[in-house]
Structure 1
Amino acid sequence: MYKAILVDDEKIVRLALKTIVDWAALGYTVTGSYSSAKTALQEIEDDPPDLIITDIKMPDMDGLQFIQRVRQQNRECEIIVLTNHENFSYAVEAIRLGVMDYVVKTDISPDSLTTLLQKAAERLEEKTRTEAAPIMAMAEGDFHEMRQAAQGLPVGENRFSEPYAICLAFLDRPENKNRRNDLGFYNLLCEKLGRPAATLIQLGPDQTAIVLMPGELESLEREAPAFCHRISGFCRAYLNRPCGFLLSEQFAESGGFLRELERCRNAIPYVVFHGTGRLTRAAALRQLSPEEVPVQMICRQLSDRLEKKDYAGAQELFSAFGRGKELRAAAPGPAARAMQSLGLTALLDCSAYLGEEERKALWEQLRRCRSVDDYEAHLGLVIQQMERFERKKAALLCKKEMAQIVQYIEENLSQHISLEMISETVHMTENYVSRLFKSESGMNVVGYINMEKMEQARRILSRPESTVRMVAGELGYYESSYFIKLFRKTYGIGPGEYKKFAEDRQTSSLLKTEE
């Protein structure tokens, strides 16, 4: 029987959890029910549980602090967070601390609780199997020669006493050098893996090679999801950094060890780009294509969905491409450039609606993207800006006078539009139009006119037959130089550069343009 405890300041919740399922039939005994997180901490020191179900908001200590204290006690129990607070920030922090699941109380039912308890039991059983087989230390001579080779010291070509493999564990996201603990990652692995020290080779502050004994290669692949989830959870909880894992082929001498180590290290950018937290065979990445990934079609589809305000469809398209086979078959460089092209397409599609500081911030964030997850998060921010503008514009159009002004502007984008022309058309004084527009929209009339014209200019420039001079004329700009200056101020690149990007969707020079 696995031991479980319940921690919630509401007695009725604890009672409901104990009675809506048959705990014994699911393999559990509820050994404690606590209204206080502090009391629970004291009790589990002497009688550690296998499973904890805890609330978030409690009077003496919140659930996140409680979980952190549990982890600091080196408790590797499964944890389920059950709360009224449907807040994403709570979920992110809970996941960082290695909880198994995060569930809103209103969603709990006998069926859903049964599913959670079965999932926890499976994970606990997996841990038991993993811990049941102690790992023997490798031959001292083999370990010494392998460590010397990793340090770049001269070694012979003697065969090892038996074949080995390595799992290269590495941390992503560079740490602040002033706060770096050069042994933190290595010490964490030594403690949490429960392996002999003579099977772990520190390769630097952010990399450690786990030497796998004969037979461990297959078992690690079989148990990879649980292994990676467990170690990644500890790395996020204690080091606040994601962790990745690369698996080598077997080798029998120091030369083979160095070749496999280099292959694993060369594969790190691929793992970082597609997402850490899982086990990847380095050998499987030998055939990655160095060719550029064609993105013209997918960029046009993305732009089309954004223009139609199909934001859910745009995110689905973006995610499907980022997780698709074509991108996974590409080397990290071409894959990153493909995602940059999609990210820049979305950013340029919304830039006309952004303030200069907002646009620069999104450009800078796009430059810093290092993984598919980063690019998806960036698209989410772009869509947030688009949705915010749409809501703002919809609110303006609800007011009759503002609707008249906006309608006139949108119907006359091909003309030179002045405040006097608007005033005469809507039968209001120029001062009234100016004050009304500023108070309702937060921007002046000329700024809004230029914003709409720049958005129209971007669409026209996407046509193959268009030229910069032609677009300037179509939008009522008599001086091409003024149009070019305004376009660059709006998008961060000139109209000629945008037209080239619209044709080939290559970002190599564009992401260096914005200052």
Structure 2
Amino acid sequence: MLRAIIVDDEILVRATLEKMVDWAAEGFQLAGCYANGQAALEAMERCPADLVFTDIKMPVCSGLEFIDGVHALGLAPHIVVLSAFDEFPLVKQAFKKGAADYVLKQEIVPARMLELVREARAALCAGGDALAPAPGAAPLRDTNAILQDVIFHNALPGELPGLEQGYVVACFFLDEIYREMARLGTDVNATLTQPLTKLVMQMPQFRSTDGFYSFDMSRHFLFYSLAQPGRTVEKARTFLAQVQRAWKNYMNISCTVGMAAPHAEPETSFYTVLEQAETNTTLRYVLGPGRIYDESYYPQFDPVTALRQAKSCMPFIRAVMEADFAQVEQYKNELVGYMQDLPLEQGQSLALLYLYNLYYEMGFYDMQVAYKLGLDHRLYQRLRAIETQRDLVIYFTSVLRRIMEYFESNYDQQFPDPVLRAKRFLDDSYMRADLTLGEVAQRSGYNEKYFCTLFKKRFDVSYSDYLTGLRIAAARELLEKTNMRMYEVCDAVGYNSVEHFLRTFKRATGQTPLQYRKENVKKHQ
């Protein structure tokens, strides 16, 4: 049986933790409760413990001194830190010294305590993580850089470590972050992005095979590798919940999380999984913010299917966002007529489909606009509570009116010219290896995601496929007409990795560059 001890100078805390768990039933012997780190160290020297719950601030010997003493004894127990709201700098030091987890004293309830004990037992039985950095080592950031390159199509998903053994992708959407801008100031990278990233990477569950990347102020992506021993999708969900709590407790930042995992072919389905994770965050519009959403919520509302049905909604949505009152009135009258004629439940579903897609498209202009307007973020519950078609129409038109007023006063939409301007810039700059999507999108005046959406709608090809097409066409011409070496061709058409160029060329043409050159030299002889 594994041994556990509790170290805290408050007798009430020790007594509470002792009684919260049926230790024997969970495979532990509670070997002792101690009022300070020195007493616990003396006990550990006589008979080591496998699991330790320790306070940070204690007389005689603090929690940090206790952890140092444990390592000095050559021991490596599973350590859970008990902390208060104002102790985060000390908690970070505890993580660096090898603590495995933390819990706020304000959150100590039986269910949470049981969860911590069971996680500790699983970690102890699994024998730890061979890939984890040693206590005090600098966090490994290589996977972060790879994840960023993969997201921007500058690297292949297969370069992510352990990809074929499974993974979970999560998208964290920061709810109502615009309210925090006065507190955060102008340097959001220093006051928001960097602290959020450090919090994630300093959590003991974050491994060298995981990656984290902040896409923009509102969206942050996590790659959680299942290659580590003992990891499961459910453990990924537990980790995501811990990240949520850490951001809320130490930075007062709330977020909605979308998570997704591949069902098959982990490498080829990566971008589908990435998109699904982000799409799942939009369930905040329908079921409320602050949750962790995955496919288990689809029986209530399936966002993937709703977005596939968006084509029927787009003329109406475009009219709203262009503040075209005449067109909006025409579409609204038609929709209201349908809602009045349909059975109530079908009318509610129709209203939900249109409002969800309208919220979704609005996010391309301003990701926080639905919050700024105070729009309902529990559309499913709100619509299902409506009891008559008349009330349904009143609610739908009131939401529509508020959105129309916003777009009338904030936007003058002229799509084509800015997008075409950005495309011309891309045509002239594709050969630059340092060219970024952000730089191209900036030429259009739109954020990156909305620019990519407009680009696809305007030119019927995705931004990344168009850029690849430009580079491969240029490479073909150089292979046919020059004697340049492969690395020279690679550099000339905008790739900074020969390996990436070779794989991309073969995927696009079915041949390696060398095969292509030999075949075309013969044709021209």
State the TM-score, normalized to the length of structure 1. Answer: 0.42
State the TM-score, normalized to the length of structure 2. Answer: 0.41
Which structure has the larger Rg over C-alpha atoms?
1
